[in-house]
Chains A and B, each alone.
Chain A
Amino acid sequence: MNARYGMTIDVDRCNGCGACMVACAVENNVPPAHAGANDRNGLTWIRVYKVDNGQDYPDKRSAYIPVLCQQCGNDTPCVHVCPQQAVDVDPTTGVVGQMPERCLGCRYCMAACPYHARYFNWWDPAWPKGMEKTLNPDVAPRMRGVVEKCNFCHGRWHEARQRAAAMGIPETQPVDYVPACVEACPSGAIRFGDLNDGASEVARGAKEPNSFRLLEKLGTDPKIHYRSKRDWVREMGNAPRPAAGKENQRG
C-alpha cells in the first residue's frame, strides 16, 4: 500500500524556539537571508507564527503555530495551477513535490496556496565565504527566479529509499525516516509518519479530538494535523474573523 506521509504538531508543546526553521534551512540548503530581505520576501520552508487570543493582560495567552507546506491531498491547489507541471504529488508518498529546474517562476502556485507556504527566490542564493562547505550534498540549491517549498526533506527520503532498496525492501513499502524539523524540535512537538498506517503515532494523533487542520473547510485535505487543548488555538485553524472596521493585527 502507498504511504501518505503526514505530521502532527502539538501547538501546546511548541515554544517558538525556531530550531525547526534552522534545521530545515541547513538540511535543505536554504541560503541565509539577503541583506535586502524581510519577513515578506525571505526564504523559509517552515515559518513559526506567534498568535494570541486577542485578550488584554492578564487574560492574554499566546501560542506558536509552525506553518509549512500542508501537503494537500485533495485537488492540491498548487498542482492544478502550475502551467508546466513543475509541481506534482508523488502517489507513493502523498508528498507534494516542486521541481525548481522546470519552474518558470510565474508564482501562480503562490497565489493559489492558501497557507502562504511557498517561497520565491527573489535573489541569487549566496553563502558567506566558507559556509558553502556546510551545504548538504544531497539537496540541490535553487537558483534565482524559482519557487521552493517544504517537501518533507526529500533528500532524507531518497536516502532512506536507497537504504531500503539495499536491504531488499520492495519499492511499494513505505520507508522510515524523519524530516530535519522533527529531529530538531527540542520539545517533541512535531511528529512525522505514515497517516495510512493506523498504528503509527501520527495516524493516531490525527484522530484525536483536539486535533485540527488549517482551513479544513476549503477541502484541500492537508496532511499536517495540529493539536491543542485550548479552544482559542483550535479556532485559529478557521478563516479570519476580523472585528468590523478594524484591521486584524493578531498574527
Chain B
Amino acid sequence: MDKEFIARGAKRCPGGKFLLWLLPWALLLGFGLYAAGLCLVLGLNQTNMDNRFAFGLWIFLDLTIIAFGAGAFFTGFLLYILKIGELKAVINSAVAIGLVCYSGAIAVLMVDVGQPLRAWFTFWYPNVHSMLTEVTFCLSCYLTVLAIEYLPIVLKNRRLREVPSMLVFEHELHKLIYVLAGVGTFLSFFHQGSLGGLYGVLRGRPFAFREGLAVWPSTFFLFILSAAAVGPSFILLTTWMAEKISRKKLVRPEVLRLLGRISGLLLAVYVLAKTLDTLLWLNRTSPERGFPAWQYYSWRPFGTWILFAEIVLFGVLPALVLLTPRLRARTGWLVSAAAMACCGVALNRFVMTVQTLALPTLSFDRFLSYYPSWQEVGTFLAVVAYGVLVYSFSFRYLPLFPEERELKVEALAEEEELAAAGRY
C-alpha cells in the first residue's frame, strides 16, 4: 500500500510486517508518554529524585544520547569539511540519528525541569557564566540545524521528488549543506563541551570539579573528544544493526572499518587525555580542595573498579581493537569494540552525573543511593521507542543509505555471475 513512497530500487518488507514491527515500539512510546505526562501534570514528585539526587536517570540519558548523537556533526565535519568522501554512505543515517538523539534529549529535558513553561527565560535572562545557558543555546540552535539538514533527506522521498518545487527547494538546500555542516560542527563542539563543563565547573563538588583552560574545565574538552570518538562508533553500530534487522547490505564493509578506525584513533587520544586528567585530579585538583581523592572510591559500590572499567576496559581495549587492522577487518571484533566504546562513554556520563551526586560532601552526611521510579524509566523508554520509530520510518521511506541500491545491483550481478559459472 505504501510502495509508491519507497525509494526506487530499494526493497522493503511488506506494509503489514512493518506495522507489526512498529506496534511494540508504539506501545512503549504510549506508555512512556503516559509516564512523562504524569510527571508534567502531577509534578516531579513522581520521580525518585530528591534534594540530594537533584539529577537522575534523565540527565544521564541526556548526556549519553547527545554523545551518541555526535556522529551526526562529526561525520558531517569529516565529509564536508575534511572531504572524506567514503562517509557519504552513512551521512544521511548519521543526520537521522543525530536528530533523534537531540530532539529526544530536549524532550526529556522539558519533563525534567520543574517549570517547563519558563524554558524561554534562559533566552530572555541568560546568565552568560552558566554552562547550562551555553548548553541551552547550542542545543536549540543545533537542533534547528539538524532539522534543516534532515529536510533534504525527507525531500528525497520518491513522491516528494515528483513535486517540482520540492525538487528545487531540495537543490537549494543542498547548496547550504557546507555552511550547515560548518555551523553544526561549531555548535556541536561547543555544546558537547559545555555538557562536560556542566559538571567540571562545580567547584562545590570536588569529585567532578576540574581545572582547565580559561573558563573551560578539562571536562569541556574531554566531552568533545569522547563524543567525537563515540559518535562514529554509534553510527557503525546502528548501521550494522540496520543491516542485521533488514537483512540487507547497506554500506560497503570498508565504510564500517573506516568508521571504526576513526573512532579508534579518537578514542586513543581521549583515553590518553582522560588518564592525564585523572592523574592531575587525583594528585592535585581534589586534594587542594580538602578532598583526598581516595575517599571517593571507598564508598560502595563505587570502588576503583569503575575507574578501571572506564579507562581500561571500555577505553584502552576497544581503542586497541579498532586500531588493529587485522581485528578491525573482522565484523565481530569491530562491532564489539564499537559497542564497548559506547559503553565506556555511557559509563563516563554515569560517573559524572550519578556518582557525583551520590558522594557526600559534608563529613556528617550520608552516602545515598537512588533508583529511578517507573515514571522515570517509562520516560526513558519513550525516548528509545521514539528513536526507533523515527529511524524505522526514515529507513523505510528515505534514502538513509545511498549506496544500498548500488550494492543490491552488484550483489545481483555477482549472483548471476556465479549462476552462470555454475551452468558452464
Name A's B-contacting residues (CB within 8 A). Answer: 34, 36, 38, 40-42, 49, 51, 65, 67, 75, 77, 80-86, 102-108, 110-116, 118-124, 143-147, 214-220, 235-251
Would you call A115 and B51 a contact (CB within 8 A)?
Answer: no
Query: Does B17 make an interface contact (CB < 8 A)?
Result: no
Would you call A114 and B132 a contact (CB within 8 A)?
Answer: no
Tell me, rounded to whole Å, the shortest Cβ–Cβ distance linking B211 to chain A.
13
Among residues 177 to 204 in chain B, which have CB atoms less than 8 Å away from a CB atom of chain A?
198, 201-204
Would you call A112 and B205 a contact (CB within 8 A)?
Answer: yes
- Rounded to whole angstroms, the CA-CA distance of A134 and B102 in the bound complex is 47
Would you call B54 and A41 a contact (CB within 8 A)?
Answer: no
Name B's A-contacting residues (CB within 8 A). Answer: 43-45, 49-55, 112-115, 118-119, 121-122, 124-127, 129-133, 136, 198, 201-206, 288-292, 294-295, 298-300, 356-357, 360-368
Would you call B300 and A238 a contact (CB within 8 A)?
Answer: no
- Rounded to whole angstroms, the CA-CA distance of A47 and B361 in the bound complex is 16
Residues of the A chain whose Cβ atoms lie less than 8 Å from the Cβ of B363: 235-241, 248, 250-251
Residues of the A chain whose Cβ atoms lie less than 8 Å from the Cβ of B43: 122-124, 144-145
- In the complex, which of the residues A85, A102, A146 has the most CB atoms of chain B within 10 Å of its own CB atom? A85
Would you call A251 and B115 a contact (CB within 8 A)?
Answer: no
Residues of the B chain whose Cβ atoms lie less than 8 Å from the Cβ of A115: 204, 361-362
The residue of chain B having its C-beta at the shortest distance from the C-beta of A242 within the complex is B298
Given the contacts A110-B51, A120-B54, A248-B366, A218 and B203 also touching, CB distance less than 8 Å: yes
- Can you identify 13 A-B contacts, CB atoms within 8 angstroms? A51-B364, A67-B362, A104-B121, A112-B202, A116-B365, A145-B113, A217-B288, A238-B290, A239-B363, A243-B298, A245-B300, A247-B299, A250-B363
Residues of the A chain whose Cβ atoms lie less than 8 Å from the Cβ of B357: 111
The 8 closest A-B pairs by CB, nearest first: A105-B114, A145-B114, A217-B290, A114-B204, A107-B54, A40-B50, A110-B54, A83-B132
Would you call B364 and A49 a contact (CB within 8 A)?
Answer: yes
The residue of chain B having its C-beta at the shortest distance from the C-beta of A146 within the complex is B114
Tell me, rounded to whole Å, the shortest Cβ–Cβ distance linking B308 to chain A.
17
Residues of the B chain whose Cβ atoms lie less than 8 Å from the Cβ of A217: 288-290
- Rounded to whole angstroms, the CA-CA distance of A56 and B239 in the bound complex is 61
Would you call A36 and B45 a contact (CB within 8 A)?
Answer: yes
Would you call B365 and A41 a contact (CB within 8 A)?
Answer: no
Would you call B115 and A113 a contact (CB within 8 A)?
Answer: no
The residue of chain A having its C-beta at the shortest distance from the C-beta of B209 within the complex is A218
Would you call B367 and A104 a contact (CB within 8 A)?
Answer: no
Residues of the B chain whose Cβ atoms lie less than 8 Å from the Cβ of A103: 114-115, 118
Would you call B119 and A119 a contact (CB within 8 A)?
Answer: no
Would you call B362 and A240 a contact (CB within 8 A)?
Answer: yes
Residues of the A chain whose Cβ atoms lie less than 8 Å from the Cβ of B298: 242-246
- Rounded to whole angstroms, the CA-CA distance of A94 and B50 in the bound complex is 28
Would you call A104 and B299 a contact (CB within 8 A)?
Answer: no
Would you call A84 and B127 a contact (CB within 8 A)?
Answer: yes
Residues of the B chain whose Cβ atoms lie less than 8 Å from the Cβ of A116: 51-52, 361-362, 365
- Rounded to whole angstroms, the CA-CA distance of A106 and B124 in the bound complex is 16
Would you call A239 and B113 a contact (CB within 8 A)?
Answer: no
Residues of the B chain whose Cβ atoms lie less than 8 Å from the Cβ of A250: 363-364
Would you call A107 and B204 a contact (CB within 8 A)?
Answer: no
- Rounded to whole angstroms, the CA-CA distance of A236 and B365 in the bound complex is 10
Tell me, rounded to whole Å, the shortest Cβ–Cβ distance linking A207 to chain B.
21
Residue in contact with B127 in the complex, picked from A83, A113, A114, CB distance below 8 Å:
A83
Would you call A215 and B362 a contact (CB within 8 A)?
Answer: yes
The residue of chain B having its C-beta at the shortest distance from the C-beta of A65 within the complex is B364
- Rounded to whole angstroms, the CA-CA distance of A1 and B156 in the bound complex is 69
Tell me, rounded to whole Å, the shortest Cβ–Cβ distance linking B107 to chain A.
15
Would you call A104 and B365 a contact (CB within 8 A)?
Answer: no
- Rounded to whole angstroms, the CA-CA distance of A251 and B362 in the bound complex is 9
- In the complex, which of the residues B54, B55, B292, B294 has the most CB atoms of chain A within 10 Å of its own CB atom? B54
Given the contacts A65-B364, A81-B202, A242 and B299 also touching, CB distance less than 8 Å: yes
Residues of the B chain whose Cβ atoms lie less than 8 Å from the Cβ of A247: 299-300, 366-367
Would you call A104 and B118 a contact (CB within 8 A)?
Answer: yes
Residues of the B chain whose Cβ atoms lie less than 8 Å from the Cβ of A121: 114
The residue of chain B having its C-beta at the shortest distance from the C-beta of A233 within the complex is B364
The residue of chain B having its C-beta at the shortest distance from the C-beta of A34 within the complex is B45
Tell me, rounded to whole Å, the shortest Cβ–Cβ distance linking B359 to chain A.
8
The residue of chain A having its C-beta at the shortest distance from the C-beta of B127 within the complex is A85
Tell me, rounded to whole Å, the shortest Cβ–Cβ distance linking B183 to chain A.
22
Residues of the B chain whose Cβ atoms lie less than 8 Å from the Cβ of A243: 298
Tell me, rounded to whole Å, the shortest Cβ–Cβ distance linking B66 to chain A.
16
Tell me, rounded to whole Å, the shortest Cβ–Cβ distance linking B373 to chain A.
12
Residues of the A chain whose Cβ atoms lie less than 8 Å from the Cβ of B361: 114-116, 215, 239-240
Given the contacts A113-B204, A242-B298, A84 and B115 also touching, CB distance less than 8 Å: no
Residues of the B chain whose Cβ atoms lie less than 8 Å from the Cβ of A114: 204-205, 361-362
- Rounded to whole angstroms, the CA-CA distance of A80 and B365 in the bound complex is 24
Would you call B291 and A239 a contact (CB within 8 A)?
Answer: yes
The residue of chain A having its C-beta at the shortest distance from the C-beta of B109 within the complex is A106
The residue of chain A having its C-beta at the shortest distance from the C-beta of B55 within the complex is A111
Would you call A102 and B121 a contact (CB within 8 A)?
Answer: yes
Residues of the A chain whose Cβ atoms lie less than 8 Å from the Cβ of B368: 40
The residue of chain B having its C-beta at the shortest distance from the C-beta of A243 within the complex is B298
Residue in contact with B51 in the complex, picked from A36, A65, A119, A218, CB distance below 8 Å:
A119
- In the complex, which of the residues B45, B119, B201, B205 has the most CB atoms of chain A within 10 Å of its own CB atom? B45
Would you call A81 and B365 a contact (CB within 8 A)?
Answer: no
Would you call A122 and B121 a contact (CB within 8 A)?
Answer: no
Would you call B132 and A81 a contact (CB within 8 A)?
Answer: yes
Would you call B203 and A251 a contact (CB within 8 A)?
Answer: no
- In the complex, which of the residues A102, A239, A245 has the most CB atoms of chain B within 10 Å of its own CB atom? A239
- Rounded to whole angstroms, the CA-CA distance of A240 and B206 in the bound complex is 12
The residue of chain A having its C-beta at the shortest distance from the C-beta of B47 within the complex is A122
The residue of chain A having its C-beta at the shortest distance from the C-beta of B205 within the complex is A114
- Rounded to whole angstroms, the CA-CA distance of A81 and B133 in the bound complex is 9
- Rounded to whole angstroms, the CA-CA distance of A250 and B364 in the bound complex is 6
With A36-B45, A82-B132, A104-B121 given, name 7 new contacts (CB 8 A): A106-B132, A108-B130, A115-B361, A214-B362, A215-B290, A245-B298, A248-B366
